[in-house]
């Protein structure tokens, strides 16, 4: 009998290394990953585990039974198995290079992981980060049922953007990709009050104002809820009225307000009829020259974009009754003249 080649023996050894069940695969993953108490670095799938999972065909019994096997370790308070190992395997299945995920089977363990996200962000931040990466994959794939994975994901990412300092821009890009998920939440529900406060903090965050993705995101936030829009615009009004506010911040706020108005919908009335009108009134009647100057910078995107449909009509409809009336009053003429020239030039 001819000797078996080395290549064939290696292949046979690889076949023998494949776990016979999903439980064995989960146990193998647990042995290859560091424990949560000893590791704070981002969780990476060990190359051996990644190669093994991605080498399995779509119809392999281990892959078919894996989603159900992942549920116990991902269940909150179950104390069963290793949630890190389960999350890594879940992520590997989601990014399998040769076949699409079986979403109906994977959504239940994903939902269990989502329910634990707030606690994981405190107890095991690397696992929380990996979980959010899984949820983002589901969202990008436009999977039916993805709506169930955003209620915890959005607060997590907004909190990350507010606290990660100079590395906020990548997080802002990720948030902007998820922006449509903001409209899925009920902002009148009391249970979402903490998230609303988190969103409002973004309006006074230099990180959001400096980055283009952040400004676009703030404009979108103004369109998801009337109550949130009023509170957000009130924060902007307060910031504009502060002494010593930086020019860059005023320009950024102007862009945010203009984008929100340009996107249309009911927010146009909130921006045009309420916010801008109030800014004009406050600027004209202000005792300081700083307020009219700040208002001019805030309004400048509207003046600069007068060729955009509806902008010129809006500017003159808002400005005419306030400015021309105020120009007749001596004490108000200086403030009114500054704004008048901004609108007309």
Query: How many domains does the chain divide into?
Result: 1
Is residue 20 domain-resident? no
Is residue 81 domain-resident? no
For residues 98 and 157, the model is more confident at 157
Cα separation, 295 vs 247, in Å, equals: 11
Is residue 245 domain-resident? yes
DSSP per-residue string spanning 142-153? T-TTGGGGSTTH
Is residue 170 domain-resident? no
Q: Are 278 and 237 in contact (CB under 8 A)?
A: yes
Q: Are 298 and 257 in contact (CB under 8 A)?
A: yes
pLDDT digits 0-9 by tens, 70-88: 999 998 765 556 899 999 9
pLDDT digits 0-9 by tens, 170-219: 999 999 999 999 999 999 999 999 999 999 999 999 999 999 999 999 99
Cα separation, 299 vs 290, in Å, equals: 14
Q: Are 178 and 216 in contact (CB under 8 A)?
A: no
Crossing angle (nearest 10°) for helices 83-94 and 22-32: 110
pLDDT digits 0-9 by tens, 84-125: 999 999 999 999 998 899 999 999 999 999 999 999 999 999
Q: Are 253 and 214 in contact (CB under 8 A)?
A: no
Is residue 119 domain-resident? no
SS3 129: helix
Is residue 271 domain-resident? yes
Lowest mean pLDDT: which of 9-13, 287-291, 304-308, 321-325? Answer: 9-13
User: What's the domain range around 332?
Assistant: 222-345
Is residue 340 domain-resident? yes
CB atoms closer than 10 angstroms to residue 62? 19
For residues 272 and 127, the model is more confident at 127
Task: Find the length of the chain.
Answer: 345
Is residue 297 domain-resident? yes
Cα separation, 65 vs 56, in Å, equals: 13
CB atoms closer than 10 angstroms to residue 262? 18
Name the pTM for this structure: 0.85
Crossing angle (nearest 10°) for helices 290-304 and 247-262: 40
Q: What's the start-to-end Cα distance of the chain, in Å?
A: 96
């Amino acid at each position: 009998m001819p000797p078996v080649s080395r290549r064939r023996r290696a292949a046979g050894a690889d076949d023998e290394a494949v776990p016979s069940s999903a439980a064995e695969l989960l146990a193998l993953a647990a042995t290859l990953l560091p424990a949560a108490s000893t590791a704070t670095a981002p969780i990476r799938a060990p190359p051996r585990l990644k190669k093994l999972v991605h080498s399995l065909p779509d119809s392999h019994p281990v892959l078919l039974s894996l989603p159900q096997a992942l549920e116990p370790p991902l269940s909150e308070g179950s104390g069963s198995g290793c949630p890190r190992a389960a999350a890594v395997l879940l992520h590997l299945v989601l990014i399998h290079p040769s076949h699409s995920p079986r979403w109906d089977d994977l959504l239940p363990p994903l939902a269990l992981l989502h329910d634990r996200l707030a606690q994981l962000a405190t107890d095991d931040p690397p696992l929380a980060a990996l979980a959010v990466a899984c949820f983002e994959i589901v969202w990008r794939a436009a999977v039916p049922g993805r709506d169930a994975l955003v209620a915890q994901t959005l607060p997590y990412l907004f909190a990350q953007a507010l606290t990660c300092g100079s590395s906020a821009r990548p997080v802002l890009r990720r948030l902007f990709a998820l922006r449509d998920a903001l409209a899925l939440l009920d902002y009148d529900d009391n249970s979402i009050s903490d998230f609303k406060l988190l969103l409002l903090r973004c309006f006074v965050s230099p990180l959001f104002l400096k980055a283009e993705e952040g400004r676009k995101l703030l404009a979108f936030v103004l369109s998801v809820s009337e109550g949130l829009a009023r509170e957000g615009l009130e924060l902007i009004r307060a910031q504009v009225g502060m002494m010593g506010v930086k020019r860059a911040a005023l320009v950024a706020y102007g862009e945010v307000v203009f984008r929100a108005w340009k996107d249309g919908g009911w927010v146009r009335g909130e921006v045009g009829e309420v916010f801008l009108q109030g800014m004009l009134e406050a600027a004209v009647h202000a005792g300081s020259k700083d307020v009219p100057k700040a208002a001019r910078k805030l309004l400048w995107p509207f003046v600069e974009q007068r060729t955009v449909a509806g902008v010129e009509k809006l500017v003159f409809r808002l400005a005419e009754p306030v400015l021309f009336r105020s120009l007749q009053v001596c004490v108000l003429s200086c403030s009114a003249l500054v704004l008048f020239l901004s609108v007309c030039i």
